[in-house]
Amino acid sequence: MTNRTGTASALTLSLGLAAALALGGTVALGLSLPATVEQGEYSRLIAIHPGLAWASYLAFGVTAAASALWLWPRTRSPRSDLVAGSSAEIGVVFTALTLATGSIWGRPTWGVWWVWDARLTLSALMLALYLGYLALRRVPAPVDVRARRSAIAALLAVAVVPVNHFAVEWWRTLHQGRSLAQTTPGNDLDGIFVGVMLLGFLAMTLVYCWLLVHRVRVARLEDRLDEQSLAVALDERRREAVLAP
């Protein structure tokens, strides 16, 4: 493990295969969904949109948990910091995709690309919040300093999410209720839609896990490069000095 130079392993290979299978299944089943009366072709976005949103929540949750683990002295390890940063990066991607797919659905359904509804506003704020977190991580600093700073920022970010939630919820509400609340029997979401949506949840979760493992390994290699590059350069210069007459 210590001399690993790539980021693939048996774990990522199997995770990746499972993710690809689930994603392929979601796409295939999603495209085969019947068009509904109210939303026409666009109802098929239900296969991926709720799954993407769920994965972004999961990613930010993992960031918060890993940051808390880092801040707690007994569980502090450099790995928690890397997991926190990597997970936030993936979360930002998923949030952006959630907003994009939501927008694509909103245009034909609501008639506009964007509405100032509570959920959308909250997602946009969350995206900005974590972009700020990632920008903070990019500020050059020793590994420990960066870890503490970003762990505190991550916990602050996660704490502000409920406040933002209430603020925008009271401000405006137009988005339909939570997707999962509609899976109870007797609801107007058909069984096949629910099934595909749940498969989408599974697929996005697997994709998230696969990306996370790879990203953490890349992050560790980056840190090692940072640590070693100076030593390597010094070593080379020294050898040059010895060779010189």
Residues in contact with other proteins by CB under 8 A are 125-126, 128-129, 131-133, 135-136, 139-141, 144-145, 148-149, 152-153, 156-157, 159-160, 163-164, 166-168, 170-171
Given the complex with other proteins, which of 17 and 156 has the nearer CB atom? 156
- CA 103, 106, 108, 111: dihedral to nearest 10 degrees? -110
Instruction: Count Cα neighbours of 43 within 13 Å in the Cβ-side half-sphere.
Output: 15
Say how many Å lie between the first and final Cα of the chain, rounded: 41
> Which of residues 151 and 203 has its CB atom nearest to other proteins in the complex?
151
Asked whether 212 and 94 are in contact (CB, 8 A), the reply is: no
Q: Shortest Cβ distance from residue 163 to other proteins (Å)?
A: 5
C-beta of 224: minimal distance to other proteins in Å? 22
List alpha helices for 72-189, DSSP H: 78-110, 118-137, 143-171
Nearer to other proteins, 26 or 121 (CB): 121
Q: How far is the CB of 229 from other proteins (least distance, A)?
A: 21
Nearer to other proteins, 10 or 163 (CB): 163
Q: Please tell me the total number of residues recorded for the chain in this structure.
A: 245
Place of tokens 């640590």: 227
Q: Name the minimum Å distance from CB 28 to other proteins.
A: 38
Nearer to other proteins (CB atom), residue 117 or residue 193: 117
If one counts every other C-beta atom within 10 angstroms of the C-beta of residue 145, the result is: 11
Q: At closest approach, how far in Å is the CB of 99 from other proteins?
A: 14
Cα–Cα nearest to 78, from 148, 171, 179: 148
